[in-house]
Each structure stands twice: as structure tokens, then as C-alpha cells.
A and B are shown apart, each in its own frame.
Chain A
Amino acid sequence: MARMDAVSKRTVGKIEKLAESVIRAVKGGGNPFVEIPVRSLANVRFNEKKRVVELGNQRQKRYFFNVSMAKKFMQTFLVSDACKELIESGKTTSIRDLYYITKHSIGDTKQNTFEEQDESDPIIEDIEVALDALREELHLFASRKGTMVGPITIRDSGDTIDLRRMGSGGWGVPSIVEENVIQFGRHEAKYVLLVEKDAVWSRFNEDKFWKRQNAIIIHGGGQPPRGVRRMVQRLHRELKLPVYVLVDNDPWGFYIYSVVKQGSINLAFESMRMAVPDARFIGLSSFDKVTYKLPSNVAIKMDDGDVARARQMLAYPWFQAKQWQAEIQEMVKSGVKYELEALSRRGISFITEEYLPTKLKEKDWIA
């Protein structure tokens, strides 16, 4: 834990420095501010060479003496203070917990420091980027919702866990999966399969797909949380395992794939730690409905939001590859989308016994 102590010290130092800069500013009669890199599409760019989404260098100043910024400024320091306390006491907590820790009424008014968790979550991300500190370095984690199973043994906080013996539930992937917490042991895995949904993952687990195929199967309950993404990246980098991503055939599914592959707009600053530029899109492709003879009555009509989202994605720099343009255009043109479960129409285990093995065999994926 010595290294962790050094990291903690550094993080606490950063928080203190931020506070000192504010004190200096007011002493000098100035309007104190916190400088925060802008976390929006406008300040995100695609690094072609590294093939990841990166944060640009636009920064915004959050002033205290500005009626519209004063509250956020205050919130920034409430969260900073709480994090410092967490780090110093060696405890880690959820971002929901943090919301409750920092929420209280202001003076004798009915106003609260935070009205909802929706207010405190972005402040945490602001601090991460402002301090250039990772969430776990702030001793915070988001709710865990990823599950993993496969031919691998790991060590989690000193406990040895055999992921071949996880029954029907699988192993819950923690939010913090850094090397100091999780270490990899013996394994026979040939690749990693990341599926979008809990229900589909259960099918793969029940069918012992991992055993047959020597695959690590993992899901992130929709858009995978940081812990899952970091875990996938470590499996890819450290164990040199290829990563396949299996998602719904809709704009949201494609977006999940892109997040796994090159990072999200929101967390662009963490792309380097989480992106897997080599991740392969294995399905559900817009053309699978023909190849795998999906009846049209399992299709779902796209709504206006879906179409708009798909059109937006056509312009993303990381979807410029011909294959991707074809995928998205086909979806827009047909006006329908498919869930992974649609494959069950061809048999309950069609997805594990026919679909995926065929796709892998025929290398029918997009890289």
C-alpha cells in the first residue's frame, strides 16, 4: 500500500493547492476561480494515431462572484473537502454516498448545497479533470453493475477467486480494478467477449459458452462502468486477449461499442486508461437480419430520437470507416433496429451455438 500512500499524498496536495489559490485570489481582491477543462463534444477530439477520444485544451473558469457560477463554485469545494477527508481516513465510498455527505441546507434557508445527485455527479467529474486525478484516487466509485465469468483465476484484495466456479451469478466487477487491488492469475482464455446486457450474458453463462470457447464473458449493464472498461483494457493489454463487443443493433449499441473502443466524450480524459482501440464489433450488425434470417416482426421501429442519434454518429470521426458508414446508413435506411434477444427467434441458444461461433469463424466483425 506504500504506492497508494504516495498517490493519496499527491491527490491531497492537489486539493490543497486549489484551495490555496482561491485564498490567494481573494486576498489580492480578485474574483477567485477554478479552472476546469471543458467536457463537451466541442472540446473532444479523436486522436487518429492513438485511436482514442481525447480532451482538447479548452478550459473554462468557474468564478465565485458570478451569480450563475457561485453555487457550483461552492459545490466544487464541498466535494473537494469531502474527498480530502475520505483519502485521509483511507475510506472509499460511492458517489451516491458522497452526495449525502455533502448535502445540507445553507444557513437558515430552505436551499440545499445539492438538491439532487445529478448536481453532485458532474461536480465530481469536474474535480477529476481539474485536478487531473482519477476517480479512485479521490476514493470514489460509481455503482457497480458489471459481471464476469471465464477460465481465469484472479486475486481481489488478497482473496483468490476462481472465475470458473461462479455459478449462475458470476463475479461482480468492482469499480476499482487497479493492479494494487486486482491481480491476474492462471488462465486459459483466448479472448474476451463483452456483451451489452445482463440477460444475454446469463444465456452465455448458462450455456457454458466460456468453457466451450475459452472466453472471458463480461457485461456492463448497458454502457459499461469504468471498472468494467478498465478491466477489459487490462485483460487486453496484460493478457494480450482480443476483445469482441456484442451489442444491440441500434444507435445506443453502436455508441457503447465506440465508448469501449476509444473512450466517451464525458470521460475523454480517462480514455488512455480505458479505451481498447483494437476492440472488435461482432454484432448485432445491420446486415445480420439477412444473413441470419431474422423475421421482420422481431424488428423495432426506430423513433425520431434514434434516427437523429444515428445521423449524428455518421459524423463522428471514429465512425468514418467505410464499414461503419455502411452499418449506420443501412440502419437509418431500413428504419428498424434489433435487440440481441431477437436472435432467440431462431432458438433459445441460437446466439451461443450458431450465431457467435459462425461470426467468429468467418471473421465477420468490424475492427
Chain B
Amino acid sequence: MAAKASRVAKADRRSRQLELVPVARPVAEPPAPTPVPAPGPAEDAAAGATESRRPKRRATAEEMATRQREISISEFFTKNRHLLGFDNPSKALLTTIKEAVDNSLDACEEAGILPEITIGVRDLGFEASGELTKGEGRFVVSVEDNGPGIVKAQAPKIFGKLLYGSKFHRLKQSRGQQGIGISAAAMYGQLTTGQPIRVVSRTGKGKPTHSFDIQIDTRKNSPVVTRDETLDDWHQDHGTRVDLEIVANWQSGQKFVNRYVEHTSLANPHCTVHYLRPKQARLSFPRATSELPKEALEIRPHPHGVELGALMTMAGDSKSHDVKGFLQTSFSRVSAQVAGEILKHAGLRERMRPREIAGDRDLAEKLHRGIQGTKIMAPPVNCLSPIGDALMRQGLVSFLSVIETEGPDGEDGQLDLDQAAKTKGKKGKAKPAPAPEPAEVEAEEGVEKIKGHDYFIATVTRPPRVYRGNPFQVEVGLAHGGSWPADRPVELFRFANRVPLLFQRGACGIHEAVVKTDWRNYLLSQPKGSLPVGPMALLVHIASVWVPFTSESKEAVAPYPEIIREIQLAAQECGRKLAAHIRKRQHADYQAQRRSIFELYIHEVAQAIGKIVGRSPDPIRREFMRVAEKVTEADLASQDAKLEEAAEKTARRPRRSEEDE
């Protein structure tokens, strides 16, 4: 429906791209669609019964026609705000921030600027009365970036018109896709507080700084600029700042925002985030790297991902003279030779006009079958920009540094900075006593010491794969140990195109894949059908030119078998690294424990024996220590053999499942 409205407004190239929607977004349907049952005799009978009862006619077609008119997308939105994540005031708080931050990150990345973003939340009630607003109230959300800025002429449409954007008509990995995000937030603010969105933007040093108040004419879906000024001075050389006054619930919504901020910095280690909250100290997540992510390239759709209707529309929009040219120019990986093969399989003439295909369902179906029956190279994968092993590690480290400072532990086993603040207030009393450090254990590869705690970090980046013609890539990172609680389910952090997914965990393919992985192989406990239990955080990122979300609100990834499988393979690989680490640790602990027992007793024994025989205890103690080393080693060998055996068992199963790769 969103696509239709847009198509009317856009130029032909765009409308061609628009028809890609079913191709690139086969999300709404589940991987295995349930067949619609054919109408049975029972229904026929029911229909007959209705007929015989002859209900009284109510409205005529003419009467109905008087009421039929265009619905503006803005009007639609006002009634269906839940579709875009504005269900209630606490979720709306997060969604507003998220839309602005995602845009800032997208813009910086596209412009090649290292992002520095400041997120602010002001509680207007608190500012007026000195007391934090309980429940719903008025808040001002601001997000400021150092991005490329927005040219003056574009600003009104960007912020005051839904379905206006630069990212929809292309197949490229980015956070935003639809051209709805920020204007929807602006509309939410306008609906709930009557206040326009306030924008400040500058495109470069020496360029003017523009400031606007923009309202949306919801009936016409068009912007109304209520204030237009040029500022004399602004502290950013280039960048954009938006201020939105909204009705929100900070009390119950802040935990989502906190998590979003933490996790955004985790998945975007090249970004510095400052976070200003009512009545709390400013929180900063400094960037872990000054290397920008690899630029994601735009690609054409892959023929294997296209569906019949889309194929017809694409053919209709094609400027090519013949169907062979259409195939070559509209799709990736279709050379003249491949196009020829497709047409041969389809039994179609090469010279056929694309328009004929667009107008004839049978011909289109032939072509579609021809495409499916032809071997075509997988789509180019250079369009993807994964976080990468090294940066994922750095991201985890800097993320954990902040968490260690703030303290872990939130309700329901999830991280929560505010819980942390409370803990800190109690002078860290709630923190468990740190486990005694094993003496002189050599630094192990993959182990990072963060604020005095040892974390084992492992990361795996899978090679790019394809689902329905869409390239995607899975990355998994895990951090184990430190001060995480050992008796709770692991923290699962889900990301799609570097955007944290915070809701609908149970419906998400990422969660499904992690639960389906047998973590007991990797020395974690795992209740049946649940996340594993242990002191661990697991990060799963899926990068794709089009992430198959289960719904418009972009909260959960559809469980495509190809995607589940990749996540599982990555999780297993990480798991094996983890198991090796846990074994090494157990070994070291055991050794240290034994040695310390013996060392304690050796002192006593040497003292007593020395006294009995009337000699100095020191040489006796030295002899004991010498034997201690030897005996401990020998005894550990058998212990190791046992662990090795367990490891073999661990490795066997996953290896089998990888064989059929």
C-alpha cells in the first residue's frame, strides 16, 4: 500500500524500482505458505442458504460511490500508527529516537564521515516542576549528527512528507529503506503535541545554517514550513539536528532507549554516541575504531529472487527493445549468454518486446519458469558491509567497558543501564565478589581484560549467501565470562543492518536459530527449547540489501531456512571456540586450585617435619614444591584426557552438519 502511493508520485525509473518490492521483500509470507483450501461443499451450501434468505439491500453502488475517495497516506498513518512502531508512548519514545539516529548513521556512512551523534531526551514536566514525569508526559527528543547535512530545498519534503526518501529505489544495505521513518516521527509529534518538527542543518563550512519548523498537512501529505530562518552561527561545520516534541513515557520507555543506544554503539564501533537523559549524567560511548565501514554498493536484483507480478511490472517499465536486453539490464548476473539460455528454457523469442511480457500473463509465466530453470551465478556480494571480526571484537570490548562501569543486571535478565545506576548507588554492594584470579595464568588468546574482568571474545563472519536472490551475510560474536551472571539465560543481541532489534524476540529467526543450536556441545547448559544458560552475551548480525522483516515495524527477521542455517553455522563455529576456552579455563582453575591447596599444606608439613628432625624447613619445602609441579602435571594429564574426550564428542556433531554445506 505504501508502494502504491509512492508509485503514483514518482518518475518511471522509480516506479520500475518500486515493483521490486515483492522481489526484495518477500517478507510478509512465511517460508512455507499454507495452501488456501478450495471452497468446499459446505461453503457452497452456506452461500445457497444466504441466497435463499434474500437479505434486504442496504446501500446502492451509487450511494457507495459518493463515499469512495483517496486516502492520504498521512491520514492512514494517523489511524494505524502501530504499524510503524508508535503503538504506545513508551515505544514511541524509542521509535522516534531510532528513526533519527538510523538516518544520521546512514547519512554519515554514505557521505564517508565518521559519525558523532548526540541523543538528547528532555522531560518538559521535570523542567517545569522539578519532578520527573511519571507515566505519560511531554518530552523533547533531539538527535544531532555531524553528517553531510540536507540542502534547503529538500528539508521540507524529507521531514514533512511521508514516503519521501533516497533509499527506497535501490537495492543496497542501509538502515532506512522506506522513506517513512523521520516524517512518521514528525507526524507522531504533531499528532500528540501539535508541535512541528524543528530542523537545523548545514551542508558545509562557509555554507549557511538553516533552521525550520515543519508541519505536515496530513490530508495532502505535504509539508508546511511554519518557520524558516538562517542561523548566524552553529557549532557544527556540517550536520543535522532534529528536535521533536512528543508525548512519551520515559519511566517505562527509557529501558528500550538505553538498550538501543548501547547496542547501536556495539554494532557501529566507528560511531561515537553521546546520550543525555533527564536528571542523569551524560553517557558516552566513544568509537572503538576510526575506520569507516566498507561502503555498501548498490546492486540490481537477482533473477532467482523475482516473482511473477514483479517480473511483469519490471518488463513493462523496461526501456530495452527486446526481452533479452531487458534481462541483461534489469538483473544482476545476466550476461548475453545467460539471457539466451533463459529464453531457450522459456521457449521465447529473443526479439520479443518486454511490453508483450508485461501484458501477457502466460508469457510472463514462461519467462519466470525459464529463469528458475537456468543456472545463474549468485548475486554479487560486494554490496554487503558486515561489521567484520576485528571490529565486532572491538565493539564488544568497548561495549563491555561501559557495561562494566555501569554494571550489568537488569530485570528479566536483560541489560539495563538504570538498574546499573541503582547498583552503583549501593556502592557496588550488589556485585558478586570477584572470583579469585588464578595466579600467573598465561594470557589466553581471545581473552580481554575489561575493568578487571576477563572476557573471552570470539567472532565469526560467514561468507555471504543468498536467499530469494538477495545477498545476505551473517556474523556472530560472543563475549563470555566477566561479571555476567552465570545462572541466567545468555543475552542475545539481534541486529539487522547494524540496527538493534529490541522487540518480538520470540518471532525472530535469529532467536530461533540460536535456540535450535545445541549449546550443550559447547559446555553451556541449555534447557530444552530455550536459550543457553551462562555468563555470555551473543551478538548476531544479519546484513542484507533487503532484510526480510516479519512486519513493517522492522522488529524481527523472518525465519528463512537459508538464514537460520547460516546463523547456526556461525553460532557453532563460535561455540567451538568457546568450548576450547572453557576447557582451558577449567584446566587452569583446576591446576591453580590444586597448587594452592598443596602450597598451603606444604608450608605446614615442612615446618612440622623440620621441627621433628631438627633441621631447617626451607630445603624440605623446596623439595616438596619441586615434586608438586611434577605430580600436578601428571595428574592433570589424566584430567586432560577426560576433557579431550568431551571435546571430541562436542566437535563431532556440528562437523557432521557442516559437511552437507
Residues of A within 8 A of B (CB): 15-16, 18-20, 22-23, 26-27, 29-31, 64-65, 67, 70-71, 73-74, 77-78, 80-81, 84-85, 106-107, 109, 111, 113
Residue B631 is within 8 A (CB to CB) of chain A in the complex: yes
Main secondary structure of the interface of B (DSSP, over half): helix
5 A–B contact pairs at CB < 8 A? A27-B623, A29-B630, A65-B628, A81-B612, A106-B604
In the complex, are the beta carbons of A113 and B604 less than 8 A apart?
Answer: yes
Asked if A19 meets B609 with Cβ closer than 8 Å, knowing A31-B631, A65-B628, A70-B598, the reply is yes
Q: Which of A67, A71, A81 sits near B594, CB closer than 8 Å?
A: A67
In the complex, are the beta carbons of A26 and B604 less than 8 A apart?
Answer: no
In the complex, are the beta carbons of B612 and A106 less than 8 A apart?
Answer: no
In the complex, are the beta carbons of A107 and B605 less than 8 A apart?
Answer: no
Residue B608 is within 8 A (CB to CB) of chain A in the complex: yes
Asked if A74 meets B627 with Cβ closer than 8 Å, knowing A67-B597, A84-B612, the reply is no
Residue B620 is within 8 A (CB to CB) of chain A in the complex: yes
Q: How far is the CB of A203 from chain B (nearest CB, A)?
A: 49
Contacts of A111 in B (CB 8 A): 600
Q: Which of A22, A23, A71 sits near B601, CB closer than 8 Å?
A: A71
Contacts of A29 in B (CB 8 A): 626-627, 630
Residue B77 is within 8 A (CB to CB) of chain A in the complex: no
Contacts of A71 in B (CB 8 A): 601
Q: Which of A15, A67, A74, A113 sits near B612, CB closer than 8 Å?
A: A15
Complex-state Cα separation, A71 to B628, whole angstroms = 15
In the complex, are the beta carbons of B612 and A77 less than 8 A apart?
Answer: yes
Contacts of A67 in B (CB 8 A): 594, 597
Asked if A78 meets B627 with Cβ closer than 8 Å, knowing A22-B609, A23-B609, A65-B598, the reply is no
> How many CB-defined contacts (below 8 Å) exist between A and B?
74
A102 and chain B: residue at smallest CB distance: B608
A20 and chain B: residue at smallest CB distance: B613
Asked if A16 meets B601 with Cβ closer than 8 Å, knowing A26-B624, A27-B623, A67-B594, the reply is no
Contacts of A19 in B (CB 8 A): 608-609, 612-613
Q: How far is the CB of B29 from chain A (nearest CB, A)?
A: 61
In the complex, are the beta carbons of A23 and B620 less than 8 A apart?
Answer: yes
Complex-state Cα separation, A70 to B595, whole angstroms = 11
Complex-state Cα separation, A64 to B609, whole angstroms = 13
Asked if A26 meets B613 with Cβ closer than 8 Å, knowing A65-B598, A65-B631, A78-B608, the reply is no
Q: How far is the CB of A63 from chain B (nearest CB, A)?
A: 9
In the complex, are the beta carbons of A109 and B600 less than 8 A apart?
Answer: yes
Residue B10 is within 8 A (CB to CB) of chain A in the complex: no
Q: Which of A65, A70, A80, A106 sits near B608, CB closer than 8 Å?
A: A80
Complex-state Cα separation, A39 to B303, whole angstroms = 85
Q: How far is the CB of B639 from chain A (nearest CB, A)?
A: 11
Residue B449 is within 8 A (CB to CB) of chain A in the complex: no
In the complex, are the beta carbons of A65 and B627 less than 8 A apart?
Answer: yes
In the complex, are the beta carbons of B623 and A26 less than 8 A apart?
Answer: yes
Q: How far is the CB of A217 from chain B (nearest CB, A)?
A: 44
In the complex, are the beta carbons of A78 and B613 less than 8 A apart?
Answer: no
Contacts of B601 in A (CB 8 A): 64, 70-71, 73-74, 106
Asked if A73 meets B627 with Cβ closer than 8 Å, knowing A23-B613, A23-B620, A80-B612, the reply is no
A74 and chain B: residue at smallest CB distance: B601
Apart from the given pairs A73-B605, A74-B604, A107-B603, 16 other A-B contacts in the complex at a CB distance below 8 Å: A19-B613, A26-B620, A26-B624, A27-B623, A65-B598, A77-B608, A77-B609, A78-B604, A78-B608, A80-B608, A80-B612, A81-B611, A106-B603, A106-B604, A111-B600, A113-B604
Complex-state Cα separation, A233 to B221, whole angstroms = 115
Q: How far is the CB of B19 from chain A (nearest CB, A)?
A: 72
Contacts of B611 in A (CB 8 A): 81, 84-85
Complex-state Cα separation, A218 to B343, whole angstroms = 118
Contacts of A16 in B (CB 8 A): 612-613
A106 and chain B: residue at smallest CB distance: B600
B609 and chain A: residue at smallest CB distance: A19
In the complex, are the beta carbons of B623 and A23 less than 8 A apart?
Answer: yes
Complex-state Cα separation, A146 to B414, whole angstroms = 68
Contacts of A113 in B (CB 8 A): 604
Complex-state Cα separation, A65 to B624, whole angstroms = 9
Contacts of B631 in A (CB 8 A): 31, 65
Contacts of B613 in A (CB 8 A): 16, 19-20, 23
Q: How far is the CB of B229 from chain A (nearest CB, A)?
A: 71
**B340-352 toward A: CB 8 Å interface, digit per residue (1/0)?**
0000000000000
**B64-108 toward A: CB 8 Å interface, digit per residue (1/0)?**
000000000000000000000000000000000000000000000
Contacts of B612 in A (CB 8 A): 15-16, 18-19, 77, 80-81, 84
**B485-520 toward A: CB 8 Å interface, digit per residue (1/0)?**
000000000000000000000000000000000000
**B299-325 toward A: CB 8 Å interface, digit per residue (1/0)?**
000000000000000000000000000
Contacts of B604 in A (CB 8 A): 74, 77-78, 106, 113
Candidate in B609, B611, B623 with the most chain A CB atoms within 10 angstroms: B609
B628 and chain A: residue at smallest CB distance: A65
Q: How far is the CB of A26 from chain B (nearest CB, A)?
A: 4
Q: How far is the CB of A71 from chain B (nearest CB, A)?
A: 6
Q: How far is the CB of A253 from chain B (nearest CB, A)?
A: 42
Complex-state Cα separation, A81 to B608, whole angstroms = 6
Task: List the 4 closest pairs (A to B, CB-CB), nearest first.
Answer: A77-B608, A19-B612, A65-B631, A81-B608
Contacts of A26 in B (CB 8 A): 620, 623-624, 626-627
Complex-state Cα separation, A74 to B626, whole angstroms = 17
Complex-state Cα separation, A16 to B614, whole angstroms = 9
